[in-house]
Amino acid sequence: MEKKDFYNFEYKELKTFLYLNFNLDKKKSSMRTNQIWKFIYRNGFSNSDSFKNLPIELKDKIKENINFARIMIEEKKISTDGTIKWLLKLKDGNLVETVYIPFGKTGTLCVSSQVGCTLNCKFCHTGTQMMVRNLETSEIIQQILVAKDELEDWKIEKKIRNIVYMGMGEPFYNFESVKKSVSILKSIDGLEYASKRITISTAGVSPQISLASDEIKTRLAVSLHAPTDDIREKIMPINKKYKISDLIESCSHYAKINKEKIFLEYILLKNINDTEECAKNLIKLMGKFPCKLNIIEFNAWPGVSYEPSDKEIANKFFNIIKKSGNIVTLRKSKGEDILGACGQLKTESEKKRKNIG
């Protein structure tokens, strides 16, 4: 039997696997599942030799049938502001990027869901990379475990306080793997992240937003970046398929089901979406459903034709929104010097495009 990748198992799946393949009754399968799960997700072990209090025969069988190896770090860069970017090499040679953004003693981990991206947003560096394939659940989870290893984050108080699916790719175009990875993150016997500590960011795949409100139940961030269809279509091709009216409808449903405000991400682009009229249109849009606005400085990258808005214009835009009574933050980018900031992630994977349907 080919070895199973441990990090693709949900808790119940592992219990079933042990029961069916390890000649254990249901009670012992449940007990061993709990032990193994905690060895990996509470203690940070990555080798079955480290498992304590298990019979040697069982450990040998685990080693024969389950693979616990982590993906490898190809490159690591540390920004002057403490942001860390890891370039991770997958088993097939493809590369993805994961970024840790510190805020004091804790921080946020930004994970990828695809190798490359299909969206082609004009201002996003990742969007210039050819779509290669979806990540498996295992490859999403391992990004988190590698970061925890690197940060020595295996104590009760988590250094990685929040996890955001804002790296390479569109998470809702890899719905099932993302959904399963969130289930593993939430497991009370493992990493134990609360729903409010996990955020999935989408460019606006409206049908999947509605589906996620029932099936995934995390916080939601929407990469809006324009308040009207005509502006949004020029910088985000996805808007040709899913209009802002579709977004309003799906976000309203999501907020109603999950009782949480939705984060709207808005990168300011000079002379594109930073006018007073844009701010006023944005205020009207924000009145349609419960939300918070994150205004983000544009992070330039080699070859891009857009420029960040002037500081004076950015502050004016921010103040118009704030005076309207809406919740708004003006976020300064981190990790820009290592191309680790919002919209800058890109690898040079040259694998042929694969069917991701």
Residues with a catalytic annotation lie at: 97, 342
Q: How far apart (Å, rounded) are the C-alpha atoms in residues 154 and 8?
A: 21
What's the alpha-carbon Rg for the chain, to the nearest Å?
21
115: left (phi over 0), alpha (psi -120 to 50) or beta: beta
User: Hey, what are 39's tokens?
Assistant: 């060895």
The DSSP code sequence of 221-267 is EEE---SSHHHHHHH-GGGGTS-HHHHHHHHHHHHHHH--PEEEEEE
Please list, in sequence order, all residues whose beta carbon lies within 8 angstroms of the beta carbon of residue 3, skipping any fewer than 6 positions away. 64, 65, 66, 67
Please list, in sequence order, all residues whose beta carbon lies within 8 angstroms of the beta carbon of residue 256, skipping any fewer than 6 positions away. none
Residue type, 253: H
DSSP 54: -
User: Which residue is listed with tokens 């995390």?
Assistant: 218
Q: How far apart (Å, rounded) are the C-alpha atoms in residues 243 and 3?
A: 45
CA distances from 134 to 170, 228, 348 (A): 9, 30, 16
User: Hey, what are 314's tokens?
Assistant: 């950015």
User: Which residue is listed with tokens 């993150």?
Assistant: 185
Q: How far apart (Å, rounded) are the C-alpha atoms in residues 200 and 208?
A: 12
CA distances from 332 to 55, 261, 315, 342 (A): 53, 21, 12, 10
Judge whether 255 and 262 are in contact, CB under 8 Å: yes
φ, ψ dihedrals at 123, nearest 5°: -100, 0
Q: What is the rounded end-to-end Cα distance, in angstroms, of the chain?
A: 27
User: Hey, what are 65's tokens?
Assistant: 């049938």
Nearest to 212 by CA among 174, 238, 244: 174
